[in-house]
Structure 1
Amino acid sequence: MSDHVARAALLPLPPADRVRQATAALADFIERAKLVAGERLPTERELAVALGVGRSTIREVIRHFQALGVVEARKGSGTYLLRAISAATVHMPLSLETTHLREVLLKTLEVRRGIEAEAGMVAARMRTPQDLKTIEEKLDEMERVHLSKGTSGPEDLAFHLAIYDATHNPLFKQLLEQMREAFERFWERPFDRPDFARRSFPFHRTLFNAIADGDPEAARAETLKILAIVEEDIKEMSK
């Protein structure tokens, strides 16, 4: 553990509302310890002992920060900071109360459609040559895997994340990652089905072309084509 981490004390919490308090305390600790992107956080055990909470509370806090794109858990290595935050950082956790799976997925998609279409338009305006290189690399890999296996879940996600990065507005990535997590939370294994949204495959290349051409309206149109197919498949698979 680095010296500045050791100097920043974590203090035990009172019993009420442990997750919320632990979230605020960890954000404050990251600021006071002057942690920067790439540095490892204390272990779950160290955080639990320092804050006087259970490890399940710490795991929930870490999941919250993962959903916001603030930290990354690396198997066998620990949890690493992806971007500096403080107690004043704006966090926007999402919740949706419903017992109907189909309704959850479609409501999530309804919100995602507006944000993701706008992300494509902003990326078309703001992308740099390096952004285009990264997006195309992710697209090439997605197409390679799709053509060999018939499905490309992780590669598809990497392609879209590269587009969000090309907006140069971190809120797009954070919000859309939470949309994706909502899908996965309510429908545990939607993308294991080889046929899920397969028909959207060609539109990923045309979306890239629109962004490369600097054409926001075309980027919006191609994004909406992809999401229309996702919506059709959700409706078909949840009948």
Structure 2
Amino acid sequence: MPADPSDRPRIEPLPPIDRARQVTEAVASYIDRANLQAGDRLPAERELMAALAVGRSTIREAIRHFQALGVMESRKGSGTYLLKPVTSATVHMPLSFDAIHLRDVLLQTLEVRRGIECEAGMVAAKRRTQEDVATIEEKLNEMERVHLAKGTSGPEDLAFHLAIYDATHNPLFKQLLEQMRGAFERFWEKPFNRPDFARRSFPFHRTLFNAIAAQDPESARAETLKILAVVEEDIKDMSQ
């Protein structure tokens, strides 16, 4: 028999710093303390907003984080449900770096990206559906639009790569990205205060898309390596 909601612990309000991460940790802690199990429904968005004193967008960002980890799902018209047990110790494991300088952090992250993104591109080329192709192209078109208007792109670049990860139909790719998001996001924050960082890699995103659409894994790998080669060159050149 499900527990009486009135017997569950309270969700405490948060201080006004680093909202999204705090919401993620607060929800994970609540799930752990309330002993929620797979199949249990989480408190409604409105309840979480009121309890944590944050806006709807912050709550949804936290839920998306859990969805990417494969531990929650949202059901239209019903709510958000737990798919797997969650604890505050296992949901968020940010990577840490010994390197002090941004150059070294970026180069270390690049080594990891090279392995994951080449494989993701190849798997996506093998498994993508027509719906995946349409989604990747939509993200690419938006990335190109922003790039042509501003000369650079940030979140749009990340959205393009996330769509490729989704096209692998292997949730571990996206889960790995979630755990490494802090490190990976440095690539989309104008490193070295240079808005032209990795701009030369822009055309290869279209050729990468073409390879995935054509279901050509080797070409997808080659185009990914071209993108990351430009990134590596810019890290070394711009950090001198």
Instruction: Give 1:40's match in structure 2, choosing from 15, 39, 45.
Output: 45
2:118 paired with 1:117: yes
Report if the CA contact (8 A) 2:69-2:178 is conserved. no
In the TM superposition, what whole-angstrom CA distance separates every residue of 1:13-59 from its partner, at most 9, and x where no partner exists? Answer: xxxxxx9x9675334348448237x95285477369xxxxxx9xxx9
Q: Establish whether residue 106 from structure 1 lines up as the match of residue 107 from structure 2.
A: yes
User: Structure 2 stretches of 5 or more lacking a match?
Assistant: 12-21, 71-78
Q: Contact 1:98 / 1:104 at 8 angstroms: preserved in 2?
A: yes
Q: For residue 194 of structure 1, give the secondary structure of its aligned residue in structure 2.
A: coil
Go from structure 1 to structure 2 and tell me whether the alpha carbon gap of 1:39 and 1:212 turns closer, same or farther (over 3 Å shift): farther
> Of residues 22, 29, 44 in structure 2, which corresponds to 1:25?
29
- Cα distance, 1:7–1:190 mapped onto 2, change above 3 Å: farther
| 174-183 or 217-226: bigger deviation | 174-183
Which whole-Å CA distance do the structure 2 matches of 1:41 and 1:30 have between them? 21
Q: TM-score, normalised by structure 1?
A: 0.69
Q: CA RMSD in A?
A: 4.2
1:231 to partner: Cα distance: 1.2
Matched, 1:219 2:220: yes
Which residue matches 1:9? Answer: 8
CA distance in 2, matches of 1:216, 1:145: 28
Alpha-carbon separation, structure 1, partners of 2:196 and 2:229: 15
Q: Is the 8 A contact 1:5 1:35 kept in 2?
A: no
Match of 2:85 in 1: 86
- 1:174 partnered with 2:175: yes
For 2:150 and 2:91, how far apart are their aligned partners in 1?
Answer: 38
Using the size of structure 2 for normalisation, the TM-score is 0.69
Q: Deviations over 1:144-193 (max 9, x none)?
A: 22122211212212111111111111221222244342144699642963
What is the percent sequence identity of the aligned residues?
A: 61
Give the aligned residue type for 2:29. Answer: A
- Where does the alignment leave 5 or more consecutive residues of structure 1 unmatched? 13-18, 49-54, 72-79
- Code of the residue aligned with 2:125 in structure 1: it is A
**1:95 aligns to what?**
96
Task: Name the CA shift for 1:117/1:91 in 2 (closer, same or farther; >3 Å).
Answer: farther
Question: Match for 2:8: what amino acid?
Answer: A
Query: Where does residue 146 of structure 2 map in the other structure?
Result: 145
Q: Secondary structure at the match of 1:120?
A: helix
Q: Secondary structure at the match of 1:168?
A: coil
CA 8–142 in structure 1, closer or farther in 2 if over 3 Å, else same:
farther
Residues 134/181 of structure 1: CA separation in 2 closer, same or farther (3 Å cut) = same
Tell me, yes or no, if the aligned pair for 2:121 and 2:221 is still in contact at 8 Å.
yes
The answer as to 2:238 corresponding to 1:233 is: no
